[in-house]
Structure 1
Amino acid sequence: MTAWKDLAMGAGFALRGGREGWARTVLTALGVGLGVALLLLAGAVPSALAERDVRGAGRAPLTGAEAASASTVLFGWADTRYRGEDITGFLVRPEGADPVLPLGLSALPGPGEMAASPALVELLESPSGALLRERLDYRVTAVIADEGLVSPAELVYYAGSDTLEVPSGSAERISGFGVPVVDEDLDPLLLFLVVIGFAALLMPVAVFIATAVRFGGERRDRRLAALRLVGADRRAVRRIAAGESLAGAVLGLGFGALFFALGRQSASGVRLFGKSVFPEDLDVPPWLAVLVAVGLPVVAVAVTLFAMRGAVIEPLGVVRETRRVRRRVWWRLVAPVLGAALLLPLAGREPGSGFSLVQLVAGTLLLLTGVTVLLPWLVEAAVSRVRGGGGVSWQLAIRRLQVDSGGAARQVNGIAVAVAGAIALYTALVGIESSFTGPTGHDTDRAQLSASGRFGDALTGVEGVTGTVTVASAWLAARPGEQQDVLNVTVGSCADLAEVAALPSCADGDVFIVDGGETNAIGLAVPGNDLHVLSSGAEGLTWTVPENLTPAGTRPDPGGVVRGGLFATTAAVSPELWEAAPRTVYVSVDASVPDVVEYVRNAVQTADRTASVAQLTRIEVSDEFAGIRTGLLVGAACVLALIGASLLVGQIEQLRERRRLLSTLVAFGTRRATLSLSVLWQTAIPVLLGLVVASMVGALLGGFLLRLVGRPMSVDWTSIGLLAGVGGGVVLTVTVLSLAPLARMMRPNGLRTE
Structure 2
Amino acid sequence: MSTRRWARDLAMGIRFAFAGGREGWIRALLTAVGVGLGVALLLLTTALPGALAERDRREEARLDYAFSSEEIPRADDTLVVATTDTAYRERDIRGRLVEPDGPRAPLPPGVDAFPAPGEMVVSPALRELLDSDGGGLLRERLPYDVVGTIGEQGLIGSQELAYYAGSDGLGERAGTSAATRIDGFGSPDPSPEEPLDPVLVLLILVVFVVLLTPVAVFIAAAVRFGGERRDRRLAALRLVGSDGGMTRRIAAGEALAGALLGLVLGTGFFLAGREAAASFEVFHISVFPSYLNPSPLLVLLVATAVPAAAVLVTLLALRGVVIEPLGVVRTARPARRRLWWRLLLPLAGIGMLAPMIGQGRDGGDFNQYLVVGGVMCLLVGVTALLPWIVETVVARLGAGGVSWQLAVRRLQLSSGAAARMVNGIAVAVAGAIALQMLFAGVENDYTRDTGYDTSRAQMHVQLPRGTELAPAAASLAEAKGVSRVYALSDGYLADRPWAQEPELTAQLTVGDCATLREVARLPSCEDGDVFSVRGGEYDTATPSLSEPGRTLYLETAAAGAGGEDLAWVLPEELKRAESVEDLSGTKRGGFLMTPGAAPAGLAEAVSGELYLSIDAAVPDAPEHVHNAAAALDPLVKSMAWHATDRATRYDTIRTGLLVGATAVLALIGASLLVSQLEQLRERRKLLSALVAFGTRRRTLSLSVLWQTAIPIGLGLLLASAVGMALGAVLLRMASAAVRVDWTSVLQLTGAGAAVVLLVTLLSLPPLLRMMRPEGLRTE
TM range (shorter): over 0.9
SS at match of 2:568: strand
CA distance in 2, matches of 1:542, 1:73: 34
Quote the residue 1:622 is aligned against: 647
Q: What is the match of residue 323 of structure 1?
A: 333
Check conservation: 1:450, 1:559, Cα contact below 8 A: no
Q: Is the 8 A contact 1:33 1:254 kept in 2?
A: yes
Show the counterpart of 1:104.
110
- State the Cα distance separating 1:367 from its structure 2 match: 0.7
Q: Quick check: 1:36–1:292 contact (8 Å CA) kept in 2?
A: yes
Match of 2:551 in 1: 530
| Map of 1:178 onto structure 2 | 186
- TM-score for the superposition, normalised by structure 2: 0.94
Q: Which moved more, 1:489-498 or 1:659-668?
A: 659-668
Once the two structures are overlaid, the 10-residue window that deviates more, 332-341 or 583-592, is 583-592
Instruction: Give the drift of 1:733.
Output: 0.9
Amino acid aligned to 1:515: R
Question: Which of 426, 435, 443 is residue 453 of structure 2 equivalent to?
Answer: 443
* Alpha-carbon contact 1:15-1:21 (below 8 Å) kept: yes
1:415 Cα offset (Å): 0.6
Q: 1:503 aligns with which of 518, 522, 542?
A: 522
Residue identity in the other structure for 2:410: R
Q: What secondary structure, in the 3-state scheme, does the structure 2 residue paired with 1:434 have?
A: helix
Q: Secondary structure at the match of 2:601?
A: helix
- Counterpart residue identity of residue 480, structure 1: W
Equivalent residues of 2:554, 2:605 under 8 A apart: no
Matching residue of 2:300: 290
- Structure 2 unaligned spans of 5+: none
What secondary structure does 1:749 align onto? helix
State the partner residue of 2:497: 479
Match of 1:37, SS state, is helix
Q: Which residue of 1 aligns with 2:274?
A: 264
Q: CA deviation at 1:525?
A: 3.5
Structure 1 residues 483 and 742: CA distance shift in structure 2, 3 A: farther
Once the two structures are TM-superposed, the CA of residue 516 in structure 1 deviates from its matched residue by: 3.1
Range with greater deviation from structure 2 (17-26 or 105-114): 105-114
Q: Say if 1:752 and 1:2 are closer, same or farther in 2 by CA, change over 3 A.
A: farther
- Which residue identity is paired with 2:302? V
The alpha-carbon deviation at position 579 of structure 1 amounts to 5.6
Question: Does residue 384 in structure 1 map to residue 395 in structure 2?
Answer: yes
1:668 aligns with 2:685: no
Kindly, what percent of the aligned residue pairs are identical? 54
1:132-171 equivalent positions in 2, closer than 5 A: 132-164=138-170, 165-171=173-179
Q: Distance in 2 between matches of 1:61 and 1:450?
A: 24
The 2-side partners of 1:339 and 1:745 are apart by 44
Q: Give the Cα–Cα distance (whole angstroms) in 2 for the partners of residues 93 and 205 of structure 1.
A: 52
Give SS of 1:695's match.
helix
- With 66-75 and 310-319 compared, the bigger mean Cα shift is at 66-75
Partners of 1:169 and 1:537 within 8 A in 2: no
Distance 1:103 1:354 in 2: 38
Listed one character per residue, the Cα deviations across residues 249-284 of structure 1 (whole Å, up to 9, x for unaligned) are 000000110000001111111111121101011110
**Corresponding residue to 2:94 among 88, 99, 110:** 88
Instruction: Confirm or deny that 1:33 pairs with 2:39.
Output: no
Per the alignment, residue 488 of structure 1 pairs with: 507
The aligned residue for residue 369 of structure 1 is 380
Say whether the 8 Å CA contact 1:475–1:535 is kept in structure 2.
Answer: no
2:429 corresponds in structure 1 to 419
User: In 2, are the aligned partners of 1:167 and 1:536 still within 8 Å (CA)?
Assistant: no
Q: Output aligned runs, 1:672-683, within 5 Å.
A: 672-683=697-708
The alignment status of 1:49 with 2:52, answered yes or no, reads yes
Q: Deviations over 1:228-266 (max 9, x none)?
A: 001011111011011101100000000110000001111
How far is the alpha carbon of 1:546 from its aligned partner? 2.2
Corresponding residue for residue 343 of structure 2: 333
Q: Alignment partner for residue 124 of structure 2, among 118, 123, 141?
A: 118
SS in structure 1 at match of 2:184: strand
Q: Which runs of 4+ in 1 moved over 4 A?
A: 535-539
The amino acid that maps onto 1:658 is R
**For 1:425 and 1:752, how far apart are their aligned partners in 2?**
51
Matched, 1:241 2:251: yes
Aligned mates of 2:634, 2:331 — CA distance in 1: 77
Q: CA deviation digits over 1:463-521, x for unaligned, max 9? A: 22221111101112212233763221111111111111111111111111113324342
Equivalent residue number for residue 597 of structure 2 = 572
Q: For 2:27 and 2:557, how far apart are their aligned partners in 1?
A: 74
Partner of 1:7: 10
| Aligned residue pairs, count | 753
Aligned partner of 1:74 in structure 2 is 80
Q: Which moved more, 1:536-545 or 1:79-88?
A: 536-545
Where does residue 24 of structure 1 map in the other structure? Answer: 27
Q: What displacement does 1:537 show? A: 6.5
Question: For residues 537 and 392 of structure 1, do their structure 2 counterparts lie closer, same or farther at Cα, with a shift above 3 Å needed?
Answer: farther
Q: Which of 227, 238, 254 is the matching residue for 1:228?
A: 238
Q: Give the letter aligned to residue 136 of structure 1.
A: L
* Kept in 2: contact 1:516–1:565 (CA 8 A): no
Give runs of aligned pairs for residues 511-550 of structure 1, distance below 5 A: 511-520=530-539, 521-522=541-542, 523-534=544-555, 536=557, 540=564, 541-550=566-575
Against the structure 1 CA distance between its residues 269 and 319, is the aligned structure 2 distance closer, same or farther, given a 3 Å change threshold? Answer: same
CA contact (8 A) 1:419 1:695 kept: yes
Query: CA–CA distance in 1 between the matches of 2:704 and 2:349?
Result: 35
2:369 aligned with 1:358: yes
Q: Which moved more, 1:621-630 or 1:239-248?
A: 621-630
Q: 1:536 offset after TM fit, Å?
A: 4.5
Go from structure 1 to structure 2 and tell me whether the alpha carbon gap of 1:163 and 1:526 turns closer, same or farther (over 3 Å shift): farther
Q: Deviations over 1:209-241 (max 9, x none)?
A: 000011011111111001000101111101101
Post-superposition Cα deviations, 1:413-470, rounded to whole Å, max 9, x if no partner, equal 1111111111111111111111122332222222121111135423142222221111
Match of 1:463 in 2: 480
SS at match of 2:524: coil
Give CA-to-partner distance per residue, 1:171-202, whole Å, 9 cap, x none: 11101112255423233322222221111121
For the 8 Å contact 2:489–2:511, the answer to whether it is kept is yes
Aligned partners of 2:198 and 2:366 also within 8 Å = no
Q: Within 2, Cα distance between the matches of 1:572 and 1:665?
A: 95
| Contact persistence 1:53–1:181 (CA under 8 A) | no
Q: CA deviation at 1:618?
A: 2.3
Match of 1:723 among 741, 748, 752: 748
Using a 3 Å threshold, how does the CA distance of structure 1 residues 712 and 633 change in structure 2: closer, same or farther? same
Instruction: In structure 1, give the amino acid aligned to 2:81.
Output: F
Give the TM-score taking structure 1 as reference length.
0.97
Matched residue type, 1:487: A
Q: Which moved more, 1:13-22 or 1:63-72?
A: 63-72
Amino acid at match of 1:190: L
Closer/same/farther in 2, CA of residues 158 and 518 from structure 1, 3 Å limit: farther
Which amino acid in the other structure matches residue 498 of structure 2? Answer: P
State the SS of the aligned residue for 2:587. coil
Q: Tell me the amino acid that sits aligned with residue 45 of structure 2.
A: A
Go from structure 1 to structure 2 and tell me whether the alpha carbon gap of 1:515 and 1:536 turns closer, same or farther (over 3 Å shift). Answer: farther
CA distance in 2, matches of 1:721, 1:105: 49
| 2-structure distance, mates of 1:200, 1:294 | 21
Query: RMSD of the TM alignment (CA)?
Result: 1.6
C-alpha distance in structure 2 between counterparts of 1:446 and 1:271, whole Å:
34
**CA contact 2:462–2:638 (8 Å) conserved in 1:** yes
Question: Partners in 1 of 2:559 and 2:479 — Cα distance?
Answer: 28
Secondary structure of the structure 2 residue equivalent to 1:247: helix
User: Helix, strand or coil: the match of 2:680?
Assistant: helix
Give the Cα separation in 1 of the matches to 2:570 and 2:114. 46
Query: Aligned equivalents of 2:77 and 2:455: distance in 1?
Result: 49
The DSSP-based 3-state class of the residue aligned with 2:54 is helix
**Amino acid in structure 2 at the alignment position of 1:405:** S
